A = this chain, B = another copy of it.
Amino acid sequence: MLTASICTIGDEILIGQVTDTNSGNIARALEEAGIHVRSMISVGDAPDAIEDALQLELRRSSIVITTGGLGPTKDDITKAVLARLSGSKGYMEDPGQLEMVHKILKGRGLDVLPINLAQAQVPEKAQVIVNKLGTAPIMVFRSLLGNSTLYALPGVPHEAVGAIPAVLGDILAHFKPESIIHRNIMVYGIAESALSEKIAAWEDALPADMHLAYLPNTLTGIRLRLSSYGGDAGRLEAALEELKGLLGSLVYASEDSSLEVAIGKLLKESGETVSCAESCTGGEIAHLFTSVSGSSAYFLGSVTSYAVSVKEKVLGVPARVIEEHGVVSSEVAAAMAEGVRRLTGSTYSVATTGLAGPAGDEFNPVGTVWIGVSGPRGTRTVKYCYKNDRARNIERFAASALNFLRLYIENQL
């Protein structure tokens, strides 16, 4: 089995100032490529600690990937440690990265200082992969401690993520990981345990070279990833189709996706539009819609009606309905959805009213939400009850509302 270790370098991680997302991003990419991550380690900007950790990991794994410590300031010392570890006698200038340093600084309207030029200097034993997103080069050291390869990536998260494809390409050109194919489907509206029960027989009957992973997320539901070790694409596809048949309308996408992206696709295809009216979700649904680039093609707008007066005046929810049924009710959810649809002229609309927390009220426990969806076939409502803290309740309310809207648009309600 081809194994890798990931080593993130920087005091800012050890004092908890930044959360290390590089390790997870790199691990995900390696794992999907059939490379087993043996361990992750974070060390500070101290030469001995870095060298200790790298010595150990290079003995354990054929591939070691580091991030961080490649900046131009005094506390960035990864390069010096790697020069020593690789037995480099000196540094050389990499013309490709030098050109990039000039280009990047010019783009930012900055002068090129000696400290910047030094970024293009690499230990003589390093091979360079040009980093197009920053001044620090990506470096490859081969045959370290015998036969391990070390990839040194910049620590800035978007630069590290940007380096992954080139690093993976180099790995696949020099190593032979297990052949592996993955397929994803996205599921919303069922708990992990219930899902596991529902597909138990199918899962038990999977051939030994196929494996199903459950990857749950509050906002996007459960990503089911089916993997074939050995890589028989035809059998994988067939098993996936069977799984989709079992799950029916619980499936909202046949690739790694999110509810707001899936809804966006449906609306773009049909040329239809959507709006929303939010009480307890307080803008989260609109935020999710508009986080998708190109959403202005189908998302018209939303009203967050926290105050009752806004529900009445802006959305036109009759005071009588609120009085009779309470704010958290099917009737108010329906009136809010209808109100914002009327206001914006959208094809569909979705509305939420509920209690995210910390407390419930005299009528409903905390975690209660009524969702309303309105469209050409009329209005539908549904109620859910969750038991999380305020932040997670808001996320679950928003995701549930998007899923209810998705089912309506798909003609499943």
Residues of A bordering B, CB below 8 Å: 13-21, 23-31, 37-44, 49, 53, 56, 158, 213, 215, 273, 275, 278, 281-291, 293, 295-296, 299-307, 309-310, 313-314, 343-345, 357-358, 389-391, 394
Q: Is the interface of A mostly helix, strand, loop or mixed?
A: mixed
B390 touches A309 (CB 8 A): no
Contact of A49 among B17, B20, B38, B293 (CB under 8 A): B38
Number of identical monomers bound together in the oligomeric complex: 2
B293 touches A301 (CB 8 A): no
Contact of A42 among B39, B291, B303, B343 (CB under 8 A): B39
In the complex with contacts A306-B300, A310-B344, A15-B41 CB distance below 8 A = no
A310 touches B300 (CB 8 A): yes
In the complex with contacts A42-B40, A49-B39, A287-B284, A306-B314 CB distance below 8 A = no
A282 touches B293 (CB 8 A): no
- Inter-chain CA distance A307–B347, complex, in Å, is 14
Smallest Cβ-Cβ distance to A43: which chain B residue = B39
Smallest Cβ-Cβ distance to A398: which chain B residue = B287
In the complex with contacts A290-B282, A291-B390, A343-B313 CB distance below 8 A = yes
- Inter-chain CA distance A404–B118, complex, in Å, is 40
B302 touches A304 (CB 8 A): yes
Contacts of A29 in B (CB 8 A): 16
A303 touches B293 (CB 8 A): no
In the complex with contacts A41-B39, A303-B301, A344-B293 CB distance below 8 A = no
Contacts of A281 in B (CB 8 A): 290
Smallest Cβ-Cβ distance to A302: which chain B residue = B304
Can you list 15 residue pairs at the A/B interface with Cβ under 8 Å?
A14-B38, A16-B23, A16-B26, A16-B27, A16-B30, A19-B21, A20-B40, A39-B41, A39-B49, A273-B307, A282-B289, A300-B309, A304-B304, A310-B344, A314-B314
Contacts of A18 in B (CB 8 A): 24
Contacts of A293 in B (CB 8 A): 357-358, 390
B302 touches A344 (CB 8 A): no
Smallest Cβ-Cβ distance to A282: which chain B residue = B290
Contacts of A305 in B (CB 8 A): 301
Contacts of A283 in B (CB 8 A): 278, 283-290, 302, 304
Shortest distance in angstroms between A145's beta carbon and chain B's nearest beta carbon?
18
